[in-house]
Amino acid sequence: MMGTAVAARRRIDWTGLFFAVVLTLAIIFPLVVVGTWAFANVWRYPAVVPQELGLRYWYATLARADVWTSITMSLSLSVMVTLISCVICLPAAYAFARMEFPARNLLFFSFLAGQAFPKFGLLVAIAGIFLGLNLIGSFWGVVLIQLVGTLLYMIWIPVAAFQSVDRRMEEAARDVGASPLRVFWSITLPQAGPTIAAAVLLSFVGTFYETEGAWLIGAPAIRTMPVLMISFINNQPVIQYGAVLSVLLWLPSFFAILFARRVVNSGSFARGFGG
Amino acid sequence: MSVLDIQNVTKQFGLVKAVDSFSLTVADGELVCLLGPSGSGKSTLLRMVGGFESPTGGVITIDGEDVTRVPPERRPTGMVFQSHALWTHMNVFRNIAFGLKLRRLPADEIKRKVDAVLELVGLGGYGTRQVTQLSGGQQQRVALARSLVLEPKILLLDEPFASLDQHLRERLREEVRDIQQRLGITTLFVTHGQDEALALADRIVVMRDGATEQIGAPDTVYREPETPFVAGFIGTMNLVEGTIGGGTFRHAGLAVPAPAPDGPATLAVRPEALDIRPAAGAGMAFIHRVTDYGTHALVDIELPDGLRLKAMVPEARDWKSGQAVDITPRAYALYRDNSVIHRSAEKND
């Protein structure tokens, strides 16, 4: 029996290994290539590895004013869009999760509509309206268009989070004297917190990387990091500029993931609301 | 002095009447059990007392004060839920202290009260534990402590032991009874477990389809059920449909004295009140199965028409399957039109 068990443990899972290799090639390899380009001072064909590694293009990229403007712009837009999305969507999600009102299901599914049609067509139609409202090329125009993109995450995920909170917990809080608002703050929100935090992070990162809306509505006055990167890739013969900007663009999602791990795993989110 | 008075309370969900003109007064310090099958309206009634459901009609008062439309947070009630409903993002101390903090008590007083109530429920020193680290029984004690620490006038218990195993349930219900008596707190307890109700209650309210079927002391409800439903719901009861004629109830060879008007009737006899003896002749019934419970045995007896009755005997070894027996109900009641028409002189004991 033991011999069989040992043999079973030693058997190689070829299917798993195959998928691991494919995923590594598909995900890790492109990242490694871009990362290498960002730190390559000289890398000419047919060399497999760079002839010279260094930070030359980092200095060059970070010395450009338009890069810093785009970083500030992207962060401002992401923070603003995420905040507004929280203010609008979280109460709406709570209403969808807990209240009965006419056309509830129709309204709920309407948030899928934005994703159900080709996005660019939708953006062009909205751009036509924004033109009339003088919102083209403005910060708030881009905020509005990017807000549309967050609705799906910020409604559907929190609705599921609120629905999964045990109603008896809320009733127990009211039973000991908490008002409905206090129940929401001290019980419902901390219980739904980790899931909502994930939605907020998705919203932030999604907004940070959003390109089409920012380009169509914001150009030429508003240049976010992804828009700038596209312009670098299209207009710059030097690959390293685009690669450095790509690595810079990874940073928000990297920190977002670190933050998410810390917040969701430690339970500090729940404790943060007191009780 | 805390008296709960429920008068003609009705709750309708759409076309369904969950509670129908229910009235009950729970005296100061009394523990009343609402007992009934699922869907009998007992939990809905409790939730109306707690303020989680609004009655469609009727009045609920606590110490004479009308609380019918008062929201739960302003009622002098404390509820313990079946699922414990502990807040998993708080530790034991913070779960219990939450209500005290809402009342803006000083921190040292909160600590003193929480420590005292933890001692009361046998969880002294557990304050810093996460509630998810506790066993089911410990969680239920925390839920009880969370209600008791606020010193409610009325304690509401909604099947608090339903999720616990039999052994723990028995132990906890004794502890709850002790605490309730020590504090003298007026308590309304919902259960569908008849043994729980019989063991705990000062009075039992048997509910069916949202209405009261019988209210009485456990002993009375068990020994003198007023309706066939109560007779069948509380404990094990043999119910036999038959006919009364000439002062005798008859069913397939079974005959008992019945000084009542002629007509159809239901005979109710408990297994412990059904005497059996080896048949003198051909026998009026046969033993189908004998189940030994150690302290006693239950004998399944099959009448000639296929109806099965249960009789309790002290020893299993005296009886065997297929054996012909004669049976005599020693203590019994006869029902017609949902009420008692005759009770034998000897009572169940």
> Could you report the per-residue pLDDT of A7-31, keeping only the tens digit for each?
556 688 899 999 989 988 898 888 8
Residue B92 forms part of a structural domain: yes
DSSP annotation of B271 reads G
pLDDT at B78: 94
Asked if the C-beta of A173 comes within 8 angstroms of chain B's C-beta atoms, the answer is: yes
User: What digits encode the pLDDT tens for the residues B241-300?
Assistant: 999 999 999 998 788 999 989 999 999 999 999 999 988 877 778 999 999 998 899 999
Same domain? B102 vs B201: yes
Does residue B72 sit in the same domain as residue B199?
yes
Q: Among all residues of chain B, which has the CA nearest to that of A272?
A: B89
- Among B42-51, B81-90, B180-189, B338-347, the minimum mean pLDDT is found in B338-347
Q: Residue A252: pLDDT band by 50, 70, 90 thresholds?
A: confident
Question: B135 and B261: one domain?
Answer: no
- Please report the pLDDT score of residue A125 as a whole number: 86
Chain A closest CA to B206's CA: distance in Å? 25
* Chain A residue whose CA is closest to B98: A275
Find, in chain A, the residue whose alpha carbon is nearest to that of B100.
A176
Q: Is the dihedral of CA A38, A39, A41, A47 positive or negative?
A: negative
The reported pLDDT for the residue numbered A69 is: 92
- Domain of B128? 4-229
Distance of alpha carbon B37 from alpha carbon A214, whole angstroms: 62
**List of residues 6+ apart from A157 with CB closer than 8 A:** A195, A196, A198, A199, A202
Q: Tell me the average pLDDT across A182-197.
A: 90
Three-class DSSP labels, B220-232: HHHHCCCCHHHHH
| DSSP β-bridge partners for residue B157 | B80, B189
Q: Report the distance separating Cα A221 and Cα A139, nearest Å.
A: 9
Give how far A128 is from chain B: nearest CA, Å: 48
Q: How much of chain B exceeds pLDDT 90, in percent?
A: 68
Contacts of A179 in chain B (CB under 8 A): 73
Q: What is the dihedral of CA A103, A105, A109, A110, to 10 degrees?
A: 10
Give yes or no: residues B22 and B152 share one domain. yes
Cis bond leading into B329, ω under 30°?
A: no
List B188's β-bridge partners, or say none: B32, B156
The verdict on B8 and B156 lying in the same domain is yes
Task: Based on the fold, state whether residues B157 and B248 are members of the same structural domain.
Answer: no
Indicate if B180 and B241 belong to the same structural domain. Answer: no
Q: With respect to residue B141, please indicate whether it lies within any of the assigned structural domains.
A: yes
C-alpha pair distances (Å), B45 with each of B84, B156, B335? 19, 11, 29
pLDDT band at A272 (very low <50, low <70, confident <90, very high): very low
Q: Distance (Å) from the C-alpha of residue A173 to the closest C-alpha of chain B? A: 8
Query: Does residue B193 sit in the same domain as residue B265?
Result: no
Asked if residue B188 has pLDDT above 60, the reply is yes
**Is pLDDT at A192 greater than 50 in this prediction?**
yes
How many domains would you assign to chain B?
2
Q: Is B143 on the interface with A (CB under 8 A)?
A: yes
Whether the CB of B107 is below 8 Å from some CB of chain A: the reply is: no
Q: Does B72 touch chain A (CB under 8 A)?
A: yes
pLDDT number for residue B346: 66
A268 — contact with chain B (CB < 8 Å)? no
pLDDT tens digits along B159-179: 988 877 888 888 888 888 888
Q: Is residue B323 part of a domain?
A: yes
What residues of chain A lie within 8 A of the CB of B51, using their CB? 174
At A8, which amino acid appears?
A: A
* Distance (Å, whole) CA B43 – CA B19: 10
Determine which of B84, B87, B147 to mutate to test the interface with A (most A C-beta atoms within 10 Å): B87
CA distance B49 to B55: 9
**Which of B213, B229, B245 delimits the end of a domain?**
B229
Please name the residue that has the structure tokens 């002391």: B217
Place of tokens 């219900």: B173
Interchain CB contact of B86 with A (< 8 Å) = yes
Whichever domain contains B269, its CATH number is 2.40.50.140
Give this prediction's pTM.
Answer: 0.78
Residue B96 lies in a domain: yes
Q: Tens digits of per-residue pLDDT, A203-246?
A: 998 899 888 888 888 888 888 988 888 888 888 778 888 889 88
Q: Does residue B348 lie in a domain region?
A: no
Rounded Cα gap, residues B284 and B138, in angstroms: 53
Nearest CA in chain B to A180: B73
d(CA A22, CA A16): 10
DSSP B73: G
Q: What is the dihedral of CA A234, A235, A239, A243, to 10 degrees?
A: -70
CATH code of the domain in which B17 resides: 3.40.50.300
Q: Output the pLDDT for position B111.
A: 95
In sequence order, which residues have a C-beta less than 8 Å from that of residue B96 and are 6 or more positions away?
A: B114, B117, B118, B127, B142, B145, B146, B149
**Which residues in chain B have Cβ-Cβ distances shorter than 8 Å to A171?**
50, 52, 72, 79, 81, 85
B193 and B242 share a domain? no
Is the CB of B147 less than 8 angstroms away from the CB of A169?
no
Average pLDDT over residues A191-209: 88
Do B71 and B88 share a structural domain?
Answer: yes
Q: Which pLDDT belongs to residue B332? A: 92
pLDDT score, position A88 = 93
d(CA B267, CA B260): 12
Per-residue pLDDT of A88-131, as tens digits, reads: 999 999 999 988 888 888 888 887 776 777 778 888 888 889 98
pLDDT, average across residues A56-66: 90
Residue A271 has pLDDT above 50, yes or no: no
B288 and B324 inside one domain? yes
How many percent of chain B have pLDDT more than 70?
99
- State pLDDT tens for residues B3-19: 999 999 999 999 899 99
Q: Describe the crossing of helices B107-120 and B92-102 by its angle, rounded to 10 degrees.
A: 130
> Mean pLDDT for chain A?
85
Least confident of A66-75, A192-201, A254-263: A254-263
DSSP H helices, B184-312, are: 194-200, 218-223, 228-233
Q: How much is the pLDDT for B316?
A: 82
Q: What is the DSSP string of A29-65?
A: HHHHHHHHHHTEEE--TT-SS-SEE-SHHHHHHHT-H
Is residue B156 in some structural domain? yes
Is residue B349 assigned to a domain? no
**CA–CA separation, A209 and A249 (whole Å):** 8
Tell me if A124 sits within 8 A of A217, measured CB to CB: no
Sign of CA dihedral B73, B78, B80, B86: positive
Predicted local distance difference test score (pLDDT) of residue A265: 61
What angle is formed at CA B305 by the lines to CA B255 and CA B300, rounded to 5 degrees?
Answer: 80
Residue A101: Cβ within 10 Å count: 8
Query: Residue A165 pLDDT > 50, yes or no?
Result: yes
Residue B121 falls within a domain, yes or no?
Answer: yes
Q: Among the three residues B194, B229, B264, which one is the final residue of a domain in this structure?
A: B229
Task: Please indicate, yes or no, whether residues B208 and B112 belong to a single structural domain of this protein.
Answer: yes
The rounded mean pLDDT for chain B is 91
Tens-place pLDDT, residues B294-337? 889 999 999 988 899 999 999 888 888 989 998 999 999 999 99
Span B12-42, pLDDT tens digits: 999 899 999 999 999 999 999 999 999 899 9
Choosing from B229, B248, B268, the residue where a domain stops is B229
